[in-house]
Amino acid sequence: MSATNHFELNTRSYLQAIDRFSTPGVASHYPSEYRLHHWRDKRERQCITTALVGIPRGSRVLDLPCGTGRLTRLLVDQGFRVTGADVSEAMLAQARDNHATGRLSASNTFPHVKFEHRDIMQTGYQDGCFDAVICNRLFHHFTEHATRLRALRELRRISRGPVIISFFNSFALDAAYRRLKNILLKRVLHDRIPIAFKTFHAEIRSAGFRVEKKIAVRWGISPHWYVVLD
Ligand SMILES: C[S@@+](CC[C@H](N)C(=O)[O-])C[C@H]1O[C@@H](n2cnc3c(N)ncnc32)[C@H](O)[C@@H]1O
């Protein structure tokens, strides 16, 4: 799929993020559930659950990008009416399949979840269509200011409630270690580049949001953080 078919945003990281997850091979290897015994998955789930506090049961929640539907069960278990959306047909196919399989093995009350093909830059949803939106593990692929800002503005437009976003914060030992390693190896990174919170905060404000909560997956160690925006 060519991103330029939709609208003009030809930034490298935007196109790269679409490409990276576009094939069935990648989708079939992408995790479809959080591993219950792995500390990193456990911590990520805890952070998301904390970020969701205060969103009432029955709320209409969009999971964008939903990928293979890794968050679906967590969101459904909170009593939300869930829509999953992603730009990759391959990831969506996997999500639908995972959900159908989960539904068969669980009780028949496991609710229906819609999975839709959408681009975060121009979703086609109506203004304020959702009570909340979660955007997990996409912004760390967006390396340019223009790309992040465009996505932030679209998320703000479609949510009438909180927007939860994960990003990679440069305030982390792991990020410093990787930065040093790349300098020594003379490697230039084009993806997953942690950014200063100050930089992201300026973009958040510029998109018209206010930061309600900041949650670190492992404070000072992991670059993976969550912000809850209002
Ligand atoms: C690292 S995966 C994260 C998936 C899921 N949120 C999770 O936590 O497992 C990144 C996802 O972003 C999707 N993606 C990339 N660019 C996108 C865009 N412009 N609009 C919507 N989804 C996009 C990819 O197809 C992929 O499924």
pLDDT at residue 207 in the model: 98
Among 1, 61, 88, say which to mutate for ligand 1: greatest number of ligand atoms within 8 Å of CB.
Answer: 88
Distance from the alpha carbon of residue 105 to the mean position of ligand 1, in angstroms:
26
Q: Which helix (H) or strand (E) holds 39?
A: helix 39-52
| Residues 74 and 50: beta-carbon distance below 8 Å | no
Distance from the alpha carbon of residue 66 to the mean position of ligand 1, in angstroms:
6
Q: CA-to-CA distance for 132 and 129, rounded, in angstroms?
A: 9
Q: CA-to-CA distance for 160 and 174, rounded, in angstroms?
A: 35
For the chain, the C-alpha Rg in angstroms (whole number) is: 17
pLDDT in tens, 146-182: 999 999 999 999 999 999 999 999 998 888 888 888 8
| Residues 77 and 113: beta-carbon distance below 8 Å | no
Residue spans of the domains in the chain: they are 3-229
| Residues 90 and 24: beta-carbon distance below 8 Å | yes
pLDDT at residue 107 in the model: 52
Q: And the tokens for 216? A: 């670190």
SS3 209: coil
Distance from the alpha carbon of residue 213 to the mean position of ligand 1, in angstroms:
23
Pick out the chain residues at pLDDT < 70. Answer: 1-7, 103-110
| Residues 227 and 214: beta-carbon distance below 8 Å | yes
The DSSP bridge partners found for residue 116 are 85
pLDDT at residue 109 in the model: 59
pLDDT at residue 192 in the model: 85
pLDDT at residue 4 in the model: 44
- At 18, give phi and psi (nearest 5°): -70, -45
| Protein residue closest via CA to atom 13 of ligand 1 | 65
Query: Atom of ligand 1 at shortest distance to CA of 3?
Result: 19
As a residue count, the chain comes to: 230
Quickly name the fold that domain 3-229 has. Answer: Rossmann fold (3.40.50)
Instruction: Report the pocket of ligand 1 as residue ranges, CB < 6 Å.
Output: 17-18, 21, 65, 67, 70-71, 86-88, 91, 119-121, 136-138
64 CB contacts (<8 Å, ≥6 apart)? 84, 85, 86, 118, 120, 123, 133, 134, 135, 155
SS3 227: strand
Q: How far is CA 211 from CA 93, 113, 143, 168, in A?
A: 34, 29, 21, 16
Which residue has 């456990």 as its token pair?
Answer: 42
Among 138, 149, 153, say which to mutate for ligand 1: greatest number of ligand atoms within 8 Å of CB.
Answer: 138
Query: Atom of ligand 1 at shortest distance to CA of 21?
Result: 25
pLDDT in tens, 40-60: 899 999 999 999 999 999 999
